[in-house]
Structure 1
Amino acid sequence: MKFKNIFFALLVFTFTFCSKDSNTTIPTSENELKELTIFHINDQHGQINNFSKIKYIIDQEKKETNVIVTCSGDIFSGNPVVDNHQEKGFPMIDLMNKVGFDISVIGNHEFDYGETILKDRFTQSEFDWVCANVAMNSSGIPAPFEYKTITKNNVKVTFLGLVETNGKEDAVIPSTHPWRVQNLTFQKYTDVIDNYSNIKSVEGSDLYIALTHLGKGADSNLATKSPYFDMIIGGHSHSIINVETNNIPVFQAGSNLKYLGKIKITIKDKKIENYTYSLIDLENYTNEDSSIKSTIENYNKNANLTEVIGFAEAYHSKSAVGSFYTDALRVEMNVDATFQNTGGIRNILDQGDILINEIYSIDPFNNGSVTYTMTVGEIKDFLTKSKASLYYAGIEIEQENGTITISKNNQILDDNSTLTIGMNDYIPAVYDSFFTQTPTLKNFTTAETIINHLKNNAAPINYSTTINYFKFE
């Protein structure tokens, strides 16, 4: 009898709450309030010292709610502890694994080490990689996901990855060394994005997020023209961004691991009900995870980058460094003239002792050293048509009314004169239509060439008032 009563009660309950005439709705997983915190970084460029603080912050938040940890690319190139490790890039991936990253988009500088090393770093990663506009082809690099759905308890979030492709005027590649992506195929993000407009529905996700390495302007364009995203988390332009564009929140957290972005989200009916954003200043944050801190200290200690190799008599701005840099290349490579792209000078030089670490921070890209024999006319053609921004040494360059004059030792050179030119191998790779002959390859990277020059020359340097810069206007 007791069983029959229970059965009858359940039957009435079921009929009442399932009847079309009932005014009561049973809450479902779709319309329940869900909570999520997303932490994000971008453009850390090899900087690792603040990962111990990030680990502490993330672990505290995981005690309270669902957490996803993201990176918007450019994890390499900028710190010799990472870039010149015996396994290039290994410390960065090791620390990201230990911190607990869930996902990263590929940045343009992920390709700086070349295909073989990128394959090793992808294999090492315990987090997912996403990028919808690259094909790894037969390179052996594991293909990233075009998009990836991550589930944390009752919250389901899909991330679509996109990387910039502005590396070369006549090609669709990221801003990296063209010789290091020869076996890969890229597409402009604008050519592929509409293929993924229905992914949120296909995946049944609570949120659909673009995890991009496109830069501030492109993220704004994406938000305007692709309204199906719930959020955009970006990188590449090293910006601090916390805006809404077309009602889509767009975020970016600076660069060099100085900040950690924190997005606290409430989700209802597969939409953002509300969110709060904070940018955590890691430089002034004090709590750290002791285990991660110890790992970082070991990486820094074992890098052996504190040897004094020279002395600077004055502070050198990036422009002054460019003038010193090209002159040191000229002497060490024994050529008539040298060029260095301005974007390849990444740091200033303080007055005082010069450490190996400083040279690698100035030139982090491991570019090779090459020489060419060119006529003055060919050099003028390169300068005029490429409109490249360059530092130079060994010659004097002037322009007036659209005409370039090149002199050496105050003597104007005619267009048929020949000069030996030294430079990093990135320049002829990007401007290959002007460098068609086979170059002479040197045994050292440009950074190693500068280090050798300082070791071989005891005299202090002072280029603080020398600005050898040229861009055709």
Structure 2
Amino acid sequence: MKFTKALFYFLSISILISCSSVKETKKDDGKIDFTFLQLNDVYEIAPIQGGEFGGMARVAKVHKDLLKENKNTMLFMAGDFLNPSLIGTLKVDGERVRGKQMVEVMNAMHFDLVAFGNHEFDISPKDLQKRLNESTFPWISANVKLKTKEGSIPFYKEVNGVKKEVHETFIKEFIDKDGTKVKIGFISVCIPSNPQEHLEYSNMFVKARASYASLKDKVDVVFGLTHVKLANDKRIAKLIPELPLIMGGHEHTNSNNFIGNVQISKADANAKTVYIHRVSYDKKTKKTVVKSELKEINTSIREDEKVGKIVNKWQNILNAKINDIIKNPSEIIYKTAIPLDGRDVTVRSTQSNLGTVIAKAMSFAYDDEIDAALVNGGSIRIDDQLIGNVTAVDIFRVLPYGGAILKVEIKGRLLKRVLDYGQLAAGTGAYLQRYQIQQKGKNWFIAQKPLDSDKTYTIAFSDYLLKGFDIPFLSDKSTEVFSIYTPKETELANDIRKAVVAYLKSK
């Protein structure tokens, strides 16, 4: 009898505890927290500026730590990661890398969503399709489509013969420990600044609004993941004031702006910083609270071992190839407290201090025995600023395609046409970075003297400029190009990158 009573008591307590546990697990307080880790405009998988900042293996460690803090964490790339990069120009197994290294790293990091940036369209349609197929993460695009003979279609991934479309919007569901569920949606548009024959751009503002309209009744809250100018993001914020947060790219300097209640956040390029957004959502009040932290990625952060191995593999490939071209590629050759500006928006529109350095180096390569130097802004591919310790590899990243510096005897009349064309081409790769050439009003000056249309000048040109691509009337066949000296392999002028390295080392 005593045994039966004891057993009954034990079973009763067990049932009560069990019911209590079930009650606790089923309790839904209607509030849920989740975290976004945002990157944008990342071209380098390894740390930059002498190893001081950036590095995807460090970001991977931050990501893992955030997942431990809250399993409901998403990792984003707000566009621009496949190009440009020095590794991307290399040939491995007979093929140009063209962003393959970045996709391999990002697959290992388990990105949750990526947006297209304008630099994704630098590479050929064939290479872009390969990268899409290789990626294990989802992409999003509302206003950029693939143009085919049959018409415009969404981008897609093709794996084992099966095609899967890239959608205009994206939905993610989270659930927390107490059972609160939330559906969050994402919209994305890309700046139409890289027109290509295989692309069709729709109006980004129309598509942003349409995407939001298609999502708002399917989810609890909608966020933006964009790659457009800040001014465009601000307009989107005005058009869709219900967005709590737009995670943006394109600009390379961190910023955090508010248009009404819409927060617009952009991190620094090349993962020098990342944004951590801790989001709280209340299903009863429909209120979203975003607390954002700009985190510097530096030497204090340990590297994730798995991602680090992939980065090292690609760095070893890079070093092996670079060592064939230049000794001590990691040597610090210059220190600068003032950023050397190689961003596209600068070098393709105004005279940049980095453009001046490159043009001066071109003159230096010929012992300053020339009148002036010109290089097309489109040759500068780093789309970033150099600050602090500058290495030889940094210069190769600035000018990944290399090329010779040509010494050209050119008629003043043609030189003026070239300079005028370069000014009119502001905003494109044909804009000219200069040394010993100034414009005062509408007049050009060469070495402080007015340009003489009848005089013959000796000008150092980047070899690309004499191919007639950027400036159609300038080539080795132009009648007012009197002579072109192409340097021998043993000469410094044979490789513009080596000339810049030598020039900076001399300072």
- TM-score for both structures, normalised by structure 2: 0.66
1:32 maps to 2:30: yes
1:239 to partner: Cα distance: 3.0
1:130 Cα deviation from its structure 2 partner: 1.3
Q: Which residue number corresponds to residue 186 of structure 1?
A: 201
> After superposition, where does 1:393-408 map in structure 2 within 5 Å?
397-405=437-445
Q: After superposition, what is the alpha-carbon deviation per residue over 1:398-448, rounded to whole angstroms, capped at 9, x for unaligned?
A: 44442235689x79542797999954769999x96x6268888xxx9xxxx
For the pair 1:308 / 2:343, whether they are aligned, the reply is: no
Task: From the superposition, tell whether residues 28 and 221 of structure 1 become closer, same or farther in structure 2 (CA, over 3 Å).
Answer: farther
Distance 1:379 1:463, change over 3 A: farther
Classify the secondary structure of the residue corresponding to 1:126.
Answer: coil
Query: Is 1:435 aligned with 2:454?
Result: no
Pairs within 5 Å for 1:83-102:
83-84=89-90, 86=92, 87-102=97-112
Deviation at 1:149, TM superposition (A): 1.5
Q: Please give the alpha-carbon distance, in whole angstroms, between the structure 1 residues aligned to 2:67 and 2:365.
A: 51
User: Equivalents in 2 of 1:61, 1:288: separation in Å?
Assistant: 15
How has the CA–CA distance of structure 1 residues 428 and 40 changed in structure 2, closer, same or farther, with 3 Å as cutoff? Answer: farther
Asked if 2 retains the 8 angstrom alpha-carbon contact of 1:93 and 1:125, the reply is yes
Residue of structure 1 in register with 2:51 after alignment? none
Q: Does 1:231 align with 2:237?
A: no
Distance between the aligned counterparts of 2:399 and 2:463, measured in 1?
10
- How far is the alpha carbon of 1:296 from its aligned partner? 1.7
Contact kept? 1:315, 1:464, Cα under 8 Å: no
For 1:349-428, what aligned pairs fall within 5 Å after superposition?
355=392, 357-364=393-400, 366=401, 375-387=414-426, 390-392=432-434, 397-405=437-445, 412-414=451-453, 422-423=461-462
Identify the residue that residue 148 of structure 1 maps to in structure 2: 170
Q: How far apart, CA to CA, are the structure 1 residues paired with 2:466 and 2:122?
A: 14
What is the CA-CA distance between 1:337 and the residue it aligns to?
6.1
Q: CA deviation at 1:314?
A: 6.7
Q: Which residue of 2 aligns with 1:124?
A: 134
CA, structure 1 residues 297+222, in 2 after alignment: closer, same or farther (shift >3 Å)?
A: same
Amino acid at match of 1:308: K
Alpha-carbon distance in 1 for matches of 2:64, 2:36: 13
**Is the 8 Å Cα contact of residues 312 and 350 (structure 1) preserved in structure 2?**
no
1:321 touches 1:348 (CA, 8 Å); kept in 2? no
When structure 1 is superposed on structure 2, of 89-98 and 61-70 the one drifting more is 61-70
- CA change 1:218–1:343 in 2 (3 A) is farther
How many positions carry a matched residue from both structures?
409
Contact 1:326–1:391 (Cα < 8 Å) also in 2 = no
Q: Deviations over 1:170-220 (max 9, x none)?
A: xxx33xxx6xx2321223423433322412334x11221110111323222
**Partner letter of residue 277 of structure 2?**
I
Once residues 46 and 464 of structure 1 are traced to their aligned partners in structure 2, the CA distance between those partners, rounded to angstroms, is 27
Distance 1:280 1:274, change over 3 A: same
Q: Secondary structure at the match of 2:358?
A: helix
Assess, with a 3 A threshold, how the Cα gap between structure 1 residues 128 and 54 changes in structure 2: closer, same or farther. same
Match of 2:276 in 1: 262
What is the CA–CA distance in structure 2 between the aligned matches of 1:242 and 1:406, rounded to whole Å? 43
SS in 2 for 1:127: coil
Listed one character per residue, the Cα deviations across residues 139-185 of structure 1 (whole Å, up to 9, x for unaligned) are 996363221222344332221111123xxxxxxx33xxx6xx23212
> Which residue identity does 1:290 align to in structure 2?
E
Q: Which residue of 2 aligns with 1:159?
A: 186
Worse-superposed segment, 318-327 or 114-123: 318-327
Question: Matched residue of 2:44: which SS?
Answer: coil
Tell me if 1:47 matches 2:45. yes
Q: Does structure 1 residue 340 correspond to structure 2 residue 376?
A: yes
Q: Distance in 2 between matches of 1:159 and 1:427?
A: 46
Secondary structure of 2:433's aligned partner: strand
Counterpart CA distance in 1 for 2:500 and 2:233 is: 49
The CA distance in 1 between the partners of 2:307 and 2:249, in whole Å, is: 25
- Deviation track 1:113-146 (CA, whole Å, cap 9, x = no partner) reads 2322111111111111112121211299636322
Seen in structure 2, the aligned counterparts of structure 1 residues 458 and 300 have a Cα distance that, compared at 3 Å, is closer
Identity %: 17
Q: Structure 1 residues 229, 464: closer, same or farther in 2, change over 3 A? A: farther
Paired residues of 1:34 and 1:268 also in contact (CA < 8 A): yes
**Which one-letter code corresponds to 2:101 in the other structure?**
P
Q: How far did residue 343 of structure 1 move? A: 8.2
TM-aligned CA deviation for residue 45 of structure 1: 1.7
User: 1:462 Cα shift?
Assistant: 6.0
Equivalent residue for 1:286? 301
- Structure-2 residue corresponding to 1:57: 62
One-letter amino acid of the structure 1 residue matched with residue 170 of structure 2: K
Cα deviation code 1:324-362 (max 9, x no counterpart): 45448999xx9996432288264659999x74x233222
1:137 is matched with 147
Q: CA separation in 2, counterparts of 1:68 and 1:187?
A: 28
* SS of structure 2 residue aligned to 1:196: helix
AA of the residue aligned to 2:200: T
* SS of match in other structure, 1:136: strand
Tell me the TM-score normalised to structure 1 length.
0.70
Which moves more between the two structures, 277-286 or 253-262? 277-286
Secondary structure at the residue paired with 1:283? coil
Cα offsets for 1:87-109 (capped at 9, x unmatched): 22111111111111011111111
For residues 501 and 262 of structure 2, the distance between their equivalents in structure 1, rounded to whole angstroms, comes to 57
Contact 2:374 2:462 in 1 (8 A): yes
Name the residue aligned to 1:11.
Answer: none
CA offsets per residue over residues 226-285 of structure 1, 9 Å max, x none?
213232111111232334321112222222112222112121238344232222222044
User: Is the alpha carbon distance of 1:312 and 1:121 closer, same or farther for their aligned partners in structure 2, counting shifts above 3 Å?
Assistant: closer
Give the aligned partner of residue 461 of structure 1: 503
State the one-letter code of the partner of 2:167. F
What is aligned with 1:322?
358
Question: What RMSD over aligned residues (CA atoms) do the two structures have, in Å?
Answer: 4.5
Match of 1:219 among 208, 220, 233: 233
The one-letter amino acid paired with 2:64 is D
**Higher mean C-alpha displacement, 255-264 vs 284-293:** 284-293
- Aligned equivalents of 1:439 and 1:185: distance in 2? 35
Give the aligned partner of residue 80 of structure 1.
86
1:78 CA displacement: 5.3
Of the structure 1 ranges 321-330 and 298-307, higher mean CA displacement relative to structure 2 is found in 321-330
8 Å CA contact 1:240–1:252 kept in 2: the answer is: yes
1:196 and 2:211 matched = yes
Which of residues 68, 74, 97 is equivalent to 1:68?
74
Higher alpha-carbon deviation: 87-96 or 76-85: 76-85
Kept in 1, the 8 Å contact 2:245–2:262? The answer is: yes
1:253 maps to which residue? Answer: 267
Question: What displacement does 1:42 show?
Answer: 0.8
